[in-house]
A and B are shown apart, each in its own frame.
Chain A
């Protein structure tokens, strides 16, 4: 489930915390980074690895919005529509992206390339509107720039 490199990283992290439970979030990040999402097998694996109940891992996965409980597309488009973005066209950006890709929020395109979600403030209010694509921020977006960006992502 996890690469040798990640297993080594986990060993190095252990002395930094009083319990192995503290590694729940970091280990879930590693799972998601390798597999793109967190399956129930993965949750069982994490529970065993850290010696914590599966229910604990499940509780954590479902509490935090960034852990994907089902597979997402190759590019996860996360559009902010909170206040500062909203005032600068975040809602239009969201609708435009959905329309162009022919999906509703939370859905993935049939070629599995794009998943679109709406997210809360991402700390880019001064460069609104914006969206996050996987780990990267794209800020001060015009609809034309979004079109160009979507063309480039293949």
Chain B
């Protein structure tokens, strides 16, 4: 697709779009009006055909997920909107709350109508106090205008939107943990099945989608699935909010079609690498995704299938760029510290394994790692992957596996030649905590 034809639908250039009257002047809430005259099944069908896929990390087809909700239910049904946004390298949902909260609210109302939810919980990380307040203003305005609440626009459909503030826990972005958090408990992930559509909030049918996923819906309804499905990569279409950070000149969030060249993002949109340096490594989709070496970037496109083909994933499209001077073991240790800190502790492989990985990596930083430690580290990672209740375990293992695979030489250079002496290293929560 020609970039000059691309029209942004979420982070548009329209000034003051966060105000409800400006949003309305630009066609806002017309998709909601249209939907209220359709059957819920027709709405789900439209979203299915559009091929919209989840923007929260797993790329699950949104329409298909909605269709899992029971049509008839003696229990209430719920929608949870996931604004936990805690994956390192990810800072996009925040832009929606700030610049275009109504496109999210309208999308959430449409989804609630399609799945028959009488309540929408918007879960937002506790640190985002400012953005919670901004969204609340928008919600209050939408209530005032009759878009939310009893008998919306005289249609007979009733739903509410309630913001729920998290309190500092990455794991609460995991969907079942999020539901436990909204129920007022510790954010422990649940064993699946049952899936949320069968048994979610208080055991009732629930659907969970990311904030950005939901924000794509009004345009699909207004312009039709055919228009939407032609944007970007055919199997993973639509506009995408790419967040680029690290060693680039102009970091930020860019709304572009899926499938742009990674090198285009870095060199054209972000003004290249700081101080004109070369790239050593790139994390393509948030800290949980497998790394790419600088030499591997040519021709790589940013969509689900293209990244899968090169052994990694799109994740949250949070790209982190590292220049040639980066100490990759130090960065990996920081990531390992993160997963160890955020593990909820329910599963032994994750609770213990994330700590072991951090410990071994710290040995390398201290010049105490050995050649055997490289394989031990890999072994620990391999034993976490696939053996846990939720995907945090995998997310902790993948970066370690990929960095050993791609930068084994760095470990070997750093390794002490004599065999390792096992020594006690205080777990990080007992020492004065300095992450790295």
- B247 lies within 8 A of chain A by Cβ: yes
- Is B434 touching A94 in the complex (CB atoms < 8 A)? yes
The distance from the CB of B177 to the nearest CB of chain A, in whole angstroms, is 10
Give Cα A56–Cα B88 distance, bound, in whole angstroms: 30
Determine which residue in B167, B181, B183, B246 has the highest number of CB atoms from chain A within 10 A of its CB, and name it.
B167
Expressed in whole angstroms, the Cα–Cα distance for A34 and B126 within the complex equals 16
Q: Which of B89-104 touch A at CB < 8 Å?
A: 89-91, 93-94
Q: Contact at B169–A64, with CB atoms within 8 Å? A: yes
**C-alpha gap A127/B184 in the complex (Å):** 33
Interface string of A15-28 (1 = CB under 8 A from B): 01111011111101
Q: How far is the CB of A122 from chain B (nearest CB, A)?
A: 5
Minimum CB–CB distance from B333 to chain A (whole Å) comes to 10
B243's nearest neighbour on chain A, judged by CB, is: A126
Among A21, A118, A136, which residue has its beta carbon within 8 angstroms of that of B434? A118
Q: Does A128 contact B (CB under 8 A)?
A: yes
Give the distance in Å from the alpha carbon of A59 to the alpha carbon of B435 in the complex: 25
Q: How far is the CB of B135 from chain A (nearest CB, A)?
A: 14
In the bound assembly, the distance between CA atoms of A56 and B184 in angstroms comes to 9
- Is the pair A125, B434 in contact by a Cβ cutoff of 8 Å? no
CA distance A127 to B251 in the complex (A): 7
Contact B246 A26 (CB under 8 A): no
Residues from chain B with a CB closer than 8 A to the CB of A56 are: 185
B247: chain A residues within 8 A (beta carbon)? 87-88
Q: A7 at the A/B interface (Cβ < 8 Å)?
A: no
CB distance from B37 to the nearest CB of A (A): 28
Q: How far is the CA of A17 from the CA of B186 in the complex (A)?
A: 17
> A67-B167, A81-B334, A81-B435 in contact; A22/B182 too (CB < 8 A)?
yes
- Contacting B at CB under 8 A, from A57-82, are 59-60, 63-67, 81-82
Q: A16-B162, A24-B185, A66-B168 are in contact. Are A123 and B127 (CB under 8 A)?
A: yes
- A/B interface sample: 5 pairs, CB < 8 A: A81-B436, A83-B320, A83-B331, A87-B322, A118-B433
* Cross-chain contact of A106 among B330, B331, B432 (Cβ < 8 A): B432
Q: A25-B164, A64-B166, A86-B334 are in contact. Are A135 and B86 (CB under 8 A)?
A: no
B→A interface (CB under 8 Å): 85-91, 93-94, 119, 125-130, 160, 162, 164-170, 181-187, 201-202, 243-247, 251-253, 283, 287, 318, 320, 322, 326, 330-331, 334-335, 338, 341-342, 432-436
A133 CB to nearest chain B CB (Å): 12
**Distance of B34 from chain A, by nearest CB (Å):** 28
A120 CB contact (under 8 Å) in B86, B91, B184, B283 = B86
Within 8 A of B (CB), among A78-109: 81-84, 86-88, 91, 94, 104-106
Nearest CB of B to A109, in Å: 16
Q: Are B88 and A125 in contact (CB under 8 A)?
A: yes
B74 smallest CB distance to A (angstroms): 14
Q: Tell me, in angstroms, the Cα distance from A29 to B181 when the chains sit together.
A: 14
| Selected contact of B433 from candidates A24, A84, A106, CB within 8 Å | A106
Cα A44 to Cα B206 with chains together (Å):
32
Q: How far is the CA of A88 from the CA of B412 in the complex (A)?
A: 27
Do the beta carbons of B183 and A84 come within 8 Å of each other? no
Bound CA span A133–B162, Å: 26
Given known contacts A60-B186, A83-B320, A122-B127, is B433 in contact with A65 (CB within 8 Å)? Answer: no
Bound-state CA distance A125–B251 (Å) is 8
Whether the Cβ atoms of A25 and B246 lie closer than 8 Å is no
Whether A105 touches B432, Cβ cut-off 8 Å, given contacts A16-B160, A83-B320, is yes
In the assembled complex, the CB of A151 is this many whole angstroms from the nearest CB of chain B, namely: 23
Nearest neighbor of B170 in chain A, beta-carbon distance: A120
Contact of A64 among B119, B167, B243 (CB under 8 A): B167
Chain B proximity of A110: nearest CB distance (Å): 18
B331–chain A nearest beta-carbon distance, Å: 6
- Tell whether, in the assembled complex, residue B130 and residue A24 are in contact, meaning their CB atoms are under 8 Å apart: no
Partner of A82, one of B88, B252, B330: B88
Q: Which residues of B contact A106 (CB under 8 A)?
A: 432-433
Interface centre among A23, A86, A88, A121 (most CB of B within 10 A): A121
Q: Is the CB of A21 within 8 A of B127?
A: no
Which residues of A sit under 8 angstroms from B88, Cβ to Cβ? 82-84, 120-121, 125
In the complex, the answer to whether B246 meets A118 with C-beta atoms within 8 Å is no
Given known A66-B168, A122-B127, contact A21–B87 (CB-CB < 8 A): no
Q: Pick the 4 closest A-B CB pairs, nearest first.
A: A64-B167, A66-B168, A24-B184, A65-B168
